[in-house]
Homo-oligomer: A and B are copies of this chain.
Amino acid sequence: MGSASRKTFLPLDPVSFTNESKAVIDFIADYYENIEKYPVQSSVEPGYLSARFPDSVPYCPEPLEDILKDVNDCIIPGLTHWQSPNFFAYFQANASTAGFLGEMLCSGFNVVGFNWISSPAATELESIVLDWMGKLLKLPSSFLFAGTGGGVLHGSTCEAAVCVLAAARDKALKELGGWEHITKLVVYASDQTHFTFQKAAKLVGIPPSNFRLIETSFSTEFSMSPEMVRSAIEDDIKSGLVPLFLCATMGTTPTGAVDPIAELGKVTTEFKLWLHIDAAYAGSACICPELRHYLDGVELANSISMNPHKWFLTNMDCCCLWIKEPNLLTDSLTSDPEILRNKASKSRAVVDYKDWQIALSRRFRALKLWIVIRRHGLANLMYHIRSHIEMAKRFEAFVRKDERFELVVPRKFALVCFRLKPEAAAAEEEGGELNRKLVEAINSSGRALVSHAVAGGIYVIRCAIGTTLTQQHHVDALWKLIQEKAQALLINN
């Protein structure tokens, strides 16, 4: 049995829990203090870590100091610093003290709230917080528990997509009279829709050949055309297929485009498709009245999802999904094994969230969104969004003023899509190549991180402003860096 005993082996002793946890708090605070000193994107080579760590497991316990030293010496150099104020890539992942506190409580209680009885507070707080968040976004009451709908926290948009696609699929298969019709179901999205929906549709068994990517173009700022959707639906019906599901996006990943929800909703209503709205990134902005209009038409949707873990100060992971007819979700996802049967579930007076998601086990994620909302209040949450939008406007103005650059699409939120003008290079192709080199030069400097997209064949540089720590001077420094790297490239070109 080794030399340990229950008296000496105390893996959750409150005293060492406190001491060791506080040491790690200091370590993380120190990381935040110094975060600007690190190159934003890690410059390690593939395989760097295996060379530093033994390939076998220690037999004896190691002291925390040794582990933290390794985190400092080996892990941090391999991080791309998403919390750096100079991180402008992808979409941000907001950490905050409030989100962190919620995550600590979640991990500390470590309850598994698969059904109501397994921890009533976990279920009830989640329902309350989803209604809170839905009200912040001014969702119709048809999406709220206070109305006729309801919401759930998932880990990611893809999980949410899998679940609503399965719900839509199972409803359709029931109506069509058998599982063999699965090969007739068709899902629609645009070529700007997050690829996660294509993956999710395939995961739930929709043939990949039945996924329609509606083409977008520069002329509509890369938003989805309701006419083209209608036409695609009609074609599919003529071919004997069954249009099932449309995903509209509010704030696409490549360029921040907004699909015309109200008009798309008319089409999906007419043809009885399930309309899902993916507001993963820009949904957070709708807490500001002046930005809420982008969600107009949401009442025509069947479901909507957004990620507080992006722009809403909630540490990873946290995705809100609201659905108008929760019974369609639970019809598809419910399991009722004897081992989990209990009076509360039988009474049907409670929500059992295992039937609203893929997995059985689930963390108490609601705590962090609840603390984020209370600790900041709507006032500061709106300030958070607006200050990033102000910074994005400022950056946009920088781009406009420099005649070597151009904005590719109008900015709606805090994502600015720009490029060196093709004229600055010999031809369009070289323009793409030059912009690619510019991104490479910015990122390899370690002083900032941006990312890229291709929309309508155009290579676009994306500057997503929105980390928790980003301030105006970081945006100013980014612009200087871009100008400096562009200058060097244009001289050498």
In-complex Cβ contact of A112 among B4, B49, B316, B358 (8 A): B316
CB distance A62 to B379 under 8 Å?
A: no
| Contacting residues, chain B, for A315 (C-beta < 8 A) | 107, 110
Q: Please report the C-alpha to C-alpha distance between residue A21 and residue B1 in the assembled complex, in whole angstroms.
A: 37
In-complex Cβ contact of A97 among B20, B31, B179, B316 (8 A): B20
Query: In the assembled complex, how far is the CB of residue A421 from the closest CB belonging to chain B, in whole angstroms?
Result: 21
CB distance A97 to B17 under 8 Å?
A: yes
| Contacting residues, chain B, for A249 (C-beta < 8 A) | none
CB distance A472 to B6 under 8 Å?
A: yes
In-complex Cβ contact of A25 among B22, B57, B93, B157 (8 A): B22
CB distance B79 to A383 under 8 Å?
A: no
Q: Given A12-B95, A80-B117, A156-B360 in contact, is the A209-B179 Cβ separation under 8 Å?
A: yes
| Contacting residues, chain B, for A207 (C-beta < 8 A) | 179-180
Residues of A4-44 at the interface with B, using a CB-CB cut-off of 8 Å, are 4-6, 9, 11-18, 20-22, 24-33, 41-42, 44
Q: Given A25-B22, A28-B105, A379-B4 in contact, is the A358-B454 Cβ separation under 8 Å?
A: no
CB distance A105 to B71 under 8 Å?
A: yes
Query: In the assembled complex, how far is the CB of residue A364 from the closest CB belonging to chain B, in whole angstroms?
Result: 9
Q: Is A212 located at the chain interface by the 8 A CB criterion?
A: no
Q: Please report the C-alpha to C-alpha distance between residue A15 and residue B25 in the assembled complex, in whole angstroms.
A: 11
CB distance A12 to B31 under 8 Å?
A: no
Stretch of A230-238, A335-343, A392-400 on the interface side: A335-343
Q: Please report the C-alpha to C-alpha distance between residue A16 and residue B98 in the assembled complex, in whole angstroms.
A: 10
Q: How many copies does the complex hold?
A: 2
CB distance A28 to B108 under 8 Å?
A: yes
Stretch of A121-129, A216-224, A266-274 on the interface side: A121-129
Q: Given A78-B119, A135-B56 in contact, is the A158-B360 Cβ separation under 8 Å?
A: yes
CB distance B97 to A110 under 8 Å?
A: no
Q: Given A58-B377, A119-B80, A359-B158 in contact, is the A47-B124 Cβ separation under 8 Å?
A: yes
Query: In the assembled complex, how far is the CB of residue A213 from the closest CB belonging to chain B, in whole angstroms?
Result: 12
Query: In the assembled complex, how far is the CB of residue A339 from the closest CB belonging to chain B, in whole angstroms?
Result: 5
CB distance B375 to A62 under 8 Å?
A: yes
Q: Is A426 located at the chain interface by the 8 A CB criterion?
A: no
* Cβ contacts A to B, 17 pairs, < 8 Å: A9-B380, A11-B98, A11-B468, A22-B25, A27-B105, A47-B124, A48-B124, A61-B376, A61-B379, A79-B119, A80-B117, A83-B109, A90-B112, A93-B110, A100-B104, A339-B452, A339-B453
The 7 A-B pairs of least Cβ separation, nearest first, read A205-B205, A78-B121, A156-B359, A28-B108, A179-B207, A49-B124, A95-B110
Other CB < 8 Å A-B pairs besides A100-B108, A195-B337, A203-B358, 9 of them?
A11-B97, A24-B101, A44-B120, A80-B119, A93-B111, A155-B155, A157-B360, A158-B359, A195-B360
